[in-house]
Structure 1
């Protein structure tokens, strides 16, 4: 176990036993099809986080004091299928420990494993997919665990809401649900899109956030940048409302492809992760009692019970 902590926080806030939050790095880039380098994303994200101010002005909180445990990275890369299963197994392990589980990739194929774990553990799950790409191929380049297939399984097994989409293959139109898809070109002219998207969500929400959802003018360092993306404050407005109105049960952030010269993307990713945590815990005081019993946590979040031998 590494002595390194998330954002360089003191060890007292980084112990598994007392942390509410778990961060799982997944440095995987096995199926990307254009620019390589997403496997370096977690390291760049963590380095940027160490140089980030930990007081959040908007929420007037220091969310790291809720405790953030930095788990060992999932390094399985023998095949996309093996990686997905390793992510699934690790994610489910920490959910069972009653932690708020987060992941940082790596390319988007890692989300197949994280979504599968959350869907098995939480009833009636909505997957909020924020991305430039639809990622709805059933298989691609011989694998159902390709980054182009990141949310196909979610489209079949969960309530999938897609936001920011502006690139897709014609075959994906047969899978995509137009009533639950908020295309990037429509957001600028639809002032009610945030309320509409939230109204279609169930109570339990998992967020998978592909950083290429952002416009490349503010985040160029991603493997497949697409013009016409989201901007910072509109994204935060949306996320804050989701966290306020729904029970966000976890999230992952993927597709940071770091550039040795351009570091602002790394810092945006670091800030986004911290803002999402801040929104999740902004109503809780650090000194609040934290019930670590699995039974009560399961009842609170409508968690599906599972047997001890399942992991």
Structure 2
């Protein structure tokens, strides 16, 4: 099933013509509270069929950039093996010059995409939107847990910025102080915009954007494994991300940790809209120039 299948004209869904590719990774090997993230990619893609594909903010048909959807990756036996499977799949997509949009699944998979990007892109930085710092050394016996993904990335990426954070453990608090990590806590940025450029200035030219959907307030997205109160809201988040895409070269993004249920349509739909809007932000200049 393709993102927007049945609505987006088929010529824009074909792999060879697409500038962007959706990589679905329905994996939840280390989830620690609410389960269901393995169903996230499919529910986002199902919800996408009900979007209005004219982007009312950008005035564009974002899909004209070309958006193909790859077959879902099969879950691996261990989180480390899943990371490697993601890495290999992302390598191929990058070799084919696709802009990768990865859908999870739990947050541990982001490390695999990061590793593939690091092999090809110099001067790489990472922007994380999340409720949780994800900076533990290990969690429940695994260094590849969803709770460790930013710690693994930090080992080889000196420039990371974390936005919307509002929960971390004592070990992470010590690490944040010692390493002087760039955290923009949800409580400190609520209702403000002056932090946008402060955050972006700390990033290098090339940015991998990783979005845990629990970065949003649970009044918007209750269907996630660990919904933390006090999160980000729709318009402020879009305003920040629009600025990010304008000021930096976002080379890939992911959206993880949606945990859908039979009643999760609002969360599923928000996720699908976010994916489609970010596609527009990435290719706005090209589409505005009429280069299809």
TM-score, normalization: structure 2? 0.95
Matches within 5 A, 1:160-171: 160-171=160-171
CA deviations 1:209-250 (Å, max 9, x no partner) are: 000000000110001100000000000000000000100001
Cα distance change, pair 123–147 in 1 and its aligned pair in 2 (3 A): same
Q: Which residue of 2 aligns with 1:188?
A: 190
- Once the 2 structures are TM-superposed, how far is the Cα of residue 179 of structure 1 from its aligned partner? 5.1
**Secondary structure, in 3 states, of the residue corresponding to 1:133?**
coil
How many angstroms apart in 1 are the aligned matches of 2:208 and 2:104?
Answer: 16
Cα distance change, pair 288–51 in 1 and its aligned pair in 2 (3 A): same
**Secondary structure, in 3 states, of the residue corresponding to 1:236?**
helix
How many angstroms apart in 2 are the aligned matches of 1:42 and 1:196?
Answer: 32
**1:288 has 2:281 as partner:** no
Task: For structure 1, list consecutive stretches of 5 or more residues without a partner in the other structure.
Answer: 290-311
CA deviations 1:187-227 (Å, max 9, x no partner) are: 02754211100111110001000000000001100011000
Q: Which residue of 2 aligns with 1:296?
A: none
Cα distance change, pair 278–287 in 1 and its aligned pair in 2 (3 A): same
How many angstroms apart in 1 are the aligned matches of 2:134 and 2:40?
Answer: 20
Matches within 5 A, 1:59-78: 59-78=58-77
CA deviations 1:243-300 (Å, max 9, x no partner) are: 00100001000000002123100000000111111111111137527xxxxxxxxxxx
How many angstroms apart in 2 are the aligned matches of 1:262 and 1:148?
Answer: 24
**Secondary structure, in 3 states, of the residue corresponding to 1:212?**
helix
How many angstroms apart in 2 are the aligned matches of 1:180 and 1:205?
Answer: 15
How many angstroms apart in 1 are the aligned matches of 2:84 and 2:9?
Answer: 32
CA contact (8 A) 1:76 1:82 kept: no
CA contact (8 A) 1:5 1:11 kept: no
> Which stretch of the first structure deviates more once superposed, 192-201 or 206-215?
192-201
Q: Which residue of 2 aligns with 1:6?
A: 3
- Once the 2 structures are TM-superposed, how far is the Cα of residue 144 of structure 1 from its aligned partner? 1.3
CA contact (8 A) 1:106 1:254 kept: yes
Q: Which residue of 2 aligns with 1:40?
A: 39
**Secondary structure, in 3 states, of the residue corresponding to 2:34?**
coil
Structure 1 ranges of 4+ moved more than 6 A: none
Matches within 5 A, 1:146-185: 146-158=145-157, 159-176=159-176, 177-178=179-180, 180-185=182-187
CA contact (8 A) 1:84 1:112 kept: yes
How many angstroms apart in 2 are the aligned matches of 1:274 and 1:190?
Answer: 25
- Once the 2 structures are TM-superposed, how far is the Cα of residue 76 of structure 1 from its aligned partner? 2.9
Cα distance change, pair 167–55 in 1 and its aligned pair in 2 (3 A): same
How many angstroms apart in 1 are the aligned matches of 2:276 and 2:270?
Answer: 10
Cα distance change, pair 44–189 in 1 and its aligned pair in 2 (3 A): closer
Q: Over aligned residues, Cα RMSD in angstroms?
A: 1.4
- How many pairs does the alignment contain? 286
Task: For structure 2, list consecutive stretches of 5 or more residues without a partner in the other structure.
Answer: none
Q: Which residue of 2 aligns with 1:124?
A: 123
Q: Which residue of 2 aligns with 1:229?
A: 231
Q: Which residue of 2 aligns with 1:145?
A: 144
Q: Which residue of 2 aligns with 1:244?
A: 246
Q: Which residue of 1 aligns with 2:270?
A: 268
